[in-house]
Structure 1
Amino acid sequence: MATLTQAQITHLSKLMDERYERERKEIATVTQRAREQLDEGVSADWVDAALTESTLASDDAVIKQDVADIRDILAARERLSAGVYGICTDCGEAIAYERLLAYPTAKRCIHCQRLHERDKAGREIPRGS
């Protein structure tokens, strides 16, 4: 598999920059919404209180995912600076450009990612795959 061209790296960097900004803005929006809900105080209506609690729990999950995504972007940026962006951290082969277009922060090629997910799920990995 070929290494990435400078044009491809520039395009992928732009995608990561855009995603970083989206995640950062979403964190700010969700945090502001949570603050507003907390500022409204405890509702006397138990249905409203339950909905508020549910929304806050959902917002917490969104923020955790956004933070994880930002960490992935920063890690990909570090790999880019180190000259190893687009190289699978498991097998050392190039990650397909198409995969990076779909998932610019990918650190594994599709084959190694599948093996990683199977292993993580506790399934047995067939020998010779």
Structure 2
Amino acid sequence: MPDESGLPQTGTEEAELEIPPPTVTMSCEDEYPLSNKVFCSGSASNGVPPYRYQWQRAHDLNSSPAPENNTWRDGTASIQDYCTQGLRTGGRYYRKYFRFRVLDANNYVSNYVEEVFTCWTPNP
């Protein structure tokens, strides 16, 4: 049967696939007061697996924590880092940002998600 152009259909036309972009979720937990460790794990959905997991750790100690100012580093679906918490004397408090995103098999970039922890350093 001819299509709108008047040409016959051959049955080999390509259909467009609607693949939603990758999306991520993340959860973080700290072990305070047992230790100064923060553990984060992320997961991805949609897009085309396999995923390339990427993390960004940033802080606001004399620098901008904005995502565009920090490097995304390849990794696994989880990450661990240190963050001294609790009430301290001297030193100073700062915010540490944990961010997660993925790239799918087509190199589409997901949204990013972040969690922020208030940490302490003895250095003023």
Higher strand share goes to which structure?
2
Higher helix share goes to which structure?
1
TM-score norm. by structure 1 comes to 0.19
- Higher Cα radius of gyration: 2
